[in-house]
Structure 1
Amino acid sequence: MALLLSCGLSAQEKPVWGSVLNERTGKQVPFAHLILVGEKSGTSTDENGEFRWMSGAQDKKARVKFSCIGFESRTLPLSVLAGARVYLSPVAEELDEVEVYLMKREKHRNLNSFRGKRSIGLGNFSGGAYPSAVAKYYEKPRNFAENSFIERVQVRFFPSREQVNIPARFRLRIMEATPEGKPGKDMLLKNLIVQRIPLRSKTEINLLEHRIRIPDNGFFVAVEHLFIKENAYRETRDIRVNDTIIYNGVTITKYAPVFKGVLEANDEAFDAYYRSTDGWKKMNRLDTSSPVFGNKVPAPAFKVRVTD
């Protein structure tokens, strides 16, 4: 009989439930994230802005951070969330300075560097414990155009059998690079949710209507998992605790899709990140000691097309 793991769930734990709403309009905020502060536990609201969650928290003082693109984050005690209506404030738009750039669309260029590299699947880096994300950095094209824009992004999927038939939804983000070279402020302020077509190996997202101008120091493309029930699937595996303790046939709930990645050299030019509950970290910090990695590090295999 398989052992079922549910992210630290105990028999005595009670669920928390409620909804997340726009403080200005009163409308639901779909696909917002809830993260247990200081712990590796989290979930997402559904398309109606509602959540039902078994957090696994043992501390009565536990707090939950609510976040979504286009809104100010908010942190509340876990103890007040049973049936709660949580309001998030929209981010104030800065109208002091408006810059208008002409989009010519005379030149186009594809930015991708994964040809000939070995493919690998990029699933929940949290092991199904909280919504995670992966991001890849792209330089502004040289000798192209002073004002260049992101035309479209192609996201590819890894054909793992447990989730290949799921029409999973995920969030696409375009982000600035911080002075430290990490993913920073969102340039795409829309909560852009993309749905994968089952059995398709890739999907393309047209971004021209958003007129995202590429900064001089480059940008990040990121994909973010949504912990919603229609994305959920079960994965069974053996888990090694140490050299002598192994749990066989452990079933874990994870969330589709599994994105396609490639293995890259672990050198100074490596520029892929994953997001943990305490921020963005380079993917070369992951445990890649398995021979399957061959001394290389996984990175997302996005294909980005830009125009002038």
Structure 2
Amino acid sequence: MDEIIINSKKLTQKLIVGKFKKSKINHYYQNGIKPWIIARFFDYKEKYNKTPFLKNIRLLTKSDVKNSKFNIRLYALNENGEPKNYIYDKNIVGIAKKGKKITEIDISKLNIEFPEKGFFIAIEWLIIEENKYEYKYTMQGSRKK
């Protein structure tokens, strides 16, 4: 029988990639009746060898709906540096609390390693009934709502 080497997943160190400050973000993306996806690229750095597994995804959310749901997609990149194939091909559902919050999604159990070419984290807004939010507004120069 050939030799087999098994490495354990070490959780003693952690490294935060793509830091942000909640107070510095003043612009948000919103959707209406059409679903869409927005992504951010994370480039690989040699120092990630010490902490290769992804643990959490943190993002700033602003929701008018209690516990709105969104989907996270992880993409590899193609030869042009654009999102291509899934790194993880199942839904990773995030839940945004009502208000402006830092939303954290634990992905440690998925055992995803940081790809050496980098990768995209994409957020997909879900057009589902429980995310529905209706509001009224008055047109400028009119009394109608």
Q: Same fold (TM over 0.5)?
A: yes
Q: Give the letter for the 2:132 counterpart.
A: A
Choose the corresponding residue for 1:120, options 27, 35, 38: 27
Instruction: Describe the superposition over 1:193-215 as per-residue Cα deviations: whole angstroms up to 9, x where unpaired.
Output: 22223346122111111111111
Q: Cα distance 1:189–1:238, how it changes in 2: closer, same or farther (>3 A)?
A: same
- Name the SS for the 2:113 alignment partner: coil
Match in the other structure for 1:157: 61
**Whose strand proportion is higher, 1 or 2?**
1
Match of 2:3 in 1: none
Supply the distance in 2 between the matched residues of 1:249 and 1:236 (Cα, whole angstroms).
Answer: 12
Q: Verify the 8 A CA contact 1:137 1:221 in the aligned structure 2.
A: yes
Summarize the alignment of residues 275-290 of structure 1 with structure 2, pairs less than 5 Å apart: none
TM (norm. structure 2) is: 0.77
Aligned partner of 2:123 in structure 1 is: 223
- 1:136 is aligned, of 21, 35, 40, to 40
Give yes or no for contact 1:152–1:204 (8 Å, CA) kept in 2: yes
Task: Report if aligned partners of 2:78, 2:84 keep a CA contact under 8 Å in 1.
Answer: yes
CA contact (8 A) 2:68 2:96 kept: yes
Quote the offset at 1:117 in angstroms: 3.9
**Which of 100, 115, 134 is the equivalent residue of 1:234?**
134
Distance 1:226 1:215 in 2: 27
> Structure 1 residues 199 and 218 mapped into 2: Cα distance closer, same or farther (>3 Å)?
same
Q: Structure 2 counterpart of 1:152, which letter?
A: N
TM norm structure 1: 0.39
Query: RMSD of the TM alignment (CA)?
Result: 3.0
State the percentage of identical aligned residues: 21
- The Cα offsets for residues 11-61 of structure 1, whole Å up to 9 and x where unpaired, read as xxxxxxxxxxxxxxxxxxxxxxxxxxxxxxxxxxxxxxxxxxxxxxxxxxx
**Structure 2 CA distance for partners of 1:218 and 1:157, relative to 1, 3 Å:** same
Instruction: Work out the CA distance in 2 between the residues paired with 1:208 and 1:169.
Output: 20
Instruction: Give the Cα–Cα distance (whole angstroms) in 2 for the partners of residues 112 and 102 of structure 1.
Output: 26
Aligned-pair distance for 1:221? 0.9
SS at match of 1:144: helix
Q: Is the 8 A contact 1:177 1:184 kept in 2?
A: yes
Give unpaired runs (5+ residues) of structure 2. 1-5
SS at match of 1:215: coil
- Assess if the C-alpha contact under 8 Å between 1:167 and 1:198 holds in 2: yes
Q: Structure 1 residues 238, 140: closer, same or farther in 2, change over 3 A? A: farther
Cα shift readout 1:237-293 (whole Å, capped 9, x = no counterpart): 688xxxxxx897898xxxxxxxxxxxxxxxxxxxxxxxxxxxxxxxxxxxxxxxxxx
CA distance in 1, matches of 2:61, 2:113: 27
Secondary structure of 2:109's aligned partner: helix
The correspondence of residues 260-279 of structure 1 with structure 2, limited to 5 A, is none
The one-letter code matched in structure 1 to 2:49 is A
Higher percent of residues as helix:
2
CA distance in 2, matches of 1:233, 1:157: 15
Question: 1 CA distance for matches of 2:69 and 2:28?
Answer: 17
Highest Rg: 1 or 2? Answer: 1
Aligned to 1:106: 12
Counterparts of 1:101 and 1:129, CA distance in 2: 47
Deviation at 1:170, TM superposition (A): 0.9
Letter in 1 for 2:91: N
Q: Does the aligned pair in 2 maintain the 1:236–1:250 contact within 8 Å?
A: no
